[in-house]
Each structure stands twice: as structure tokens, then as C-alpha cells.
Amino acid sequence: MKTIRTNQLTPGNTYLVGGRIAFARLARQTTDEERARDNERRKQASPKAIPVERNYTTATIYAAEVYCNDPNNPTLEERYASECMYISKSKKNYTGSCFTGMNKGDYLPRVYLKDPTTGQFNEITLEKELANDLHVTLVMKVFPGVNGNNGVSLESVLVDDPEGIKYYEPNSDITNNLAARGIVLNSNGNGARKASQGIPVSASDTPNNDTPIPEDIDSVAAPQSTFTSTPQPTPQYSTGNAFSNVPQNNPYTQKSTPGTTNFGPGGRQY
């Protein structure tokens, strides 16, 4: 049960949640048809679910944890993030807690890739959707909504996986199975074609169809954890504690200071 409401949060403040991708739609927004279909699935999963009225981008991560500058004294926004964790009811092996970020704004979330040499993050343009199991950090930002009601939006995505960026490949299972038989498939990059129309559909148009989207996830909150500090030279992605210390040398430690973040374009409207 949530004890912190969005109206208690401070507009402009951010919080960070790291984990591995279970589902991502970041390269483009949903279409009206997709949004209607997703709303119907949400309603079937939970009759009390509130329909989404605007097209959106979203990312769901598992093995999720909140990164705190001070795990012994988490901010109100970081505590709110912890209360937004939930447990997956999917048959997939989504370990630990899950977390979903959504952006219904006029701009796509910015995506940054970590440079292993400098440790800094450079903005990239997605060629297609990010791959399942890729480790990312979601940058969530509080914004002032209409009628004095605050909201929270997925502002940016930091790709910090040690193996670099990976893109979703819808036929990866088939490709791997054939490769085991010595059969190598080379894609022409045009993607699959719709059987009814013969129109090319890129991988970004059919992302992660074998993974749960938020309406397929149990709404039961994840067990709350204690706030403990486990400093490491690099972020550690354990599943035993929802709160993890962000090392002082980490480039986004300074970015989490309330009111100083520069993620995302200015003048963003929601």
C-alpha cells in the first residue's frame, strides 16, 4: 500500500531506478490502436485500472532497485519509488522487484549510452527498441500537472550495461536455434512483413512481444526493504535491497540533486 502521494513530491526533483529490461517501447510512442488494446488488457487484469488517455512510451525493468545518494536517509521521491515496486506474476524468470516508467509527453525520453572509457553518458538515437535483459537506469522526474496535481514521467534512460547497447531482435530465438544447427541467417534490415499487406514492419514496431507489459504485472507491491549502504566502485545490481548506494565517482550521483538535473529538453509539456 502506498503511503506517499505524487502531490507530496516536489516538481523538478528526480529519482533513479536501475534494473534489467523486461519490456521497452522507447523508440516511438504507442499508436491509438495499441493504446486502446493495452487499456483493454489493463481493464481485464484489474477492473479498477485507470485507462491511459494519451499515447506514451514506457519501460518495465526487473531486478529493480532505487539508487540513493544516502541509503540511510532516502529522499521522499526515492521512498515513493520504492513504494511503486511490484512483483511480476509472469511465467518468465523476472527476479526481484519490477518497476515501470511511462512518458506521455510530447517528446520521447532521451536515451544515453555510457562511455566505458570516460564513464560519462552520451546521448544516442535508438535504431530500434532496446533488448530484453539489458541493464539500464530510468531517470524519473516529478512535474506539476493540471489542477495542481503532480505527475511523474520517464525523463531519460541511461544504458549502463557492461556489454554496451543491444537492440531487440524479434527472431533471436529462431536465429539461435538455427545457428546451433550450423544455419546462419543474415537479415536485410527491413524486418518482417505483414502477411495481409506485405508492408515491412521494423523490429521497433513489434517490441518484446514475448514479455509482459505493465497490465500483465501483479499490482501487489514488492516487500519494503531497509535502507542500507553498500558502497562499491561501480553500481551493484543485487536484488536483495530495493535501495542501493550510488558511488561518489558515478557520473549521475550529482545529477540526482533536487532542482539541478538537466536531463531532457527544456520546456517539456505533459
Burial readout 223-262 (b: 16 or more C-beta within 10 A, e: otherwise): eebebeeeeeeebebeeebbbbbbeeebbbeebbeeeebe
Q: What is the predicted pLDDT for the residue at 83? A: 96
Residue 97 sits in the same domain as residue 109: yes
Using an 8 Å Cβ cutoff, are 53 and 227 in contact? Answer: no
Q: What is the predicted pLDDT for the residue at 181? A: 75
Domain count, the chain: 2
pLDDT, averaged per 10 consecutive residues of the chain (270 residues), comes to 91 96 94 93 85 94 95 96 90 87 94 95 94 96 88 96 88 65 62 38 42 44 44 35 45 35 35
Using an 8 Å Cβ cutoff, are 64 and 19 in contact? Answer: yes
Return d(Cα 238, Cα 257) in angstroms, integer.
24
Grid coordinates representing 117 are 572509457
Q: What is the predicted pLDDT for the residue at 4? A: 95
Residue 163 sits in the same domain as residue 180: no
Domain that holds residue 186: 169-206
Residue 37 sits in the same domain as residue 135: yes
Residue 160 sits in the same domain as residue 237: yes
115 belongs to a structural domain: yes
User: What is the sign of the dihedral through the CA atoms of 196, 202, 204 and 210?
Assistant: positive
